[in-house]
């Protein structure tokens, strides 16, 4: 697998040893995450909008209303930045200065492409739905022609991107190690609770298996609860 493309724009400068261009590691982070932030400039104003996304092989997919300012701007082939972050823990050092967080992140740069072919749009929406809740696409009503027309889908190639990871415990100064202060890591995880059935409509009472036993994608070597 080819590494991600390294350029002057995506070279990690701050704590460079945490940076990586490992494509598979980027894929693992993206496949576990559910939300990204899209940074762009609209009407000379910088913005960063959270939105759902999915990965399809070597590209990211985002979608929304055709009236969305974010998607309208992205469809003009203006450069964008898409950021994904997974927070794994709070790192409490013996000093405030050395306290930190454990995280895994991907920052992707490039120019998004508008998907216009109806079949390709439908395939992208299928990918987005299955990324959010595997098994849901076949169970739910799929988009009508009108709904498909009211939806914009854009893709961003995963080429110029960077992975950055911080893991492990606190890195205190030698002089602080003898201080009688607790130090360590508070692990954090996103866990699914019990599904809550919608009381309206003519829905069935039985919760489908993909909802009852919902679990985020589990990367190799790391257990993910819920």
Please tell me the predicted confidence (pLDDT) of residue 198.
86
Arithmetic mean of pLDDT, 194-220:
82
Structure confidence at residue 226 as a pLDDT band (50, 70, 90)? very low
What is the spatial distance between Cα 224 and Cα 31, in angstroms, rounded to a whole number? 13
Question: Tokens 């299928």 — which residue?
Answer: 126
Please tell me the predicted confidence (pLDDT) of residue 219.
59
Look up the CATH architecture of domain 16-192+202-212. Answer: Roll (2.30)
Please tell me the predicted confidence (pLDDT) of residue 223.
44
55: tokens are 């990965």
DSSP string, 75-116: TTT-EEEEEEEEEEEEEE-SSTTT-EEEEEEEEEEEE-EE--
For residue range 99-115, list pLDDT tens digits in order.
999 999 999 999 999 99
Residue 222 Cα to chain centre, angstroms = 17
If you average pLDDT over every residue of the chain, what do you get?
91
Please tell me the predicted confidence (pLDDT) of residue 108.
96
Structure confidence at residue 220 as a pLDDT band (50, 70, 90)? low
pLDDT at 184 over 80: yes
Note every long-range contact of 112-117, with CB atoms under 8 Å and residues 24 or more positions apart, other chains counting: 112/62, 112/74, 112/75, 112/77, 112/80, 112/154, 112/155, 112/156, 113/77, 113/154, 113/155, 113/156, 113/157, 114/74, 114/75, 114/152, 114/153, 114/154, 115/153, 115/154, 115/155
For residue range 42-96, list pLDDT tens digits in order.
888 999 999 999 999 999 999 999 989 898 888 888 899 999 999 999 999 999 9
**Confidence (pTM):** 0.90
34: tokens are 């559910």
Pairing assessment for the beta strands 59-65 and 79-92 based on DSSP bridges: unpaired
225: tokens are 């609860």
User: Which of 25-39, 64-78, 127-141, 147-161 is predicted least confidently?
Assistant: 64-78
Residue pair 65/150 in contact (Cβ under 8 Å)? The answer is yes
């Amino acid at each position: 697998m080819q590494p991600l493309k390294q350029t002057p724009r995506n070279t990690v400068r701050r704590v460079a040893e945490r940076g990586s261009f490992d494509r598979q590691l980027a894929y693992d982070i993206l496949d576990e995450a559910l939300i990204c932030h899209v940074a762009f400039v609209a009407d000379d104003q910088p913005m960063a909008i959270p939105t759902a996304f999915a990965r399809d092989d070597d590209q990211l997919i985002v979608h929304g209303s055709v009236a969305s300012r974010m998607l309208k701007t992205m469809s003009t082939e203006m450069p964008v930045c898409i950021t994904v972050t997974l927070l794994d823990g709070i790192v409490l050092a013996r000093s405030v200065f050395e306290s930190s967080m454990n995280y895994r992140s991907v920052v992707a740069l490039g120019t998004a492409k508008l998907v216009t072919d109806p079949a390709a749009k439908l395939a992208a929406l299928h990918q987005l739905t299955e990324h959010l809740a595997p098994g849901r696409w076949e169970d739910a009503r799929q988009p009508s022609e009108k709904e498909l027309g009211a939806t914009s889908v854009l893709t961003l190639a995963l080429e110029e991107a960077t992975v950055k990871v911080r893991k492990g415990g606190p890195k205190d100064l030698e002089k602080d190690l003898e201080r009688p202060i607790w130090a360590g890591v508070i692990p954090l995880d996103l866990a699914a609770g019990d599904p809550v059935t919608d009381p309206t409509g003519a829905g069935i009472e039985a919760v489908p298996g993909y909802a009852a036993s919902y679990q985020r994608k589990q990367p190799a070597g790391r257990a993910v609860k819920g």
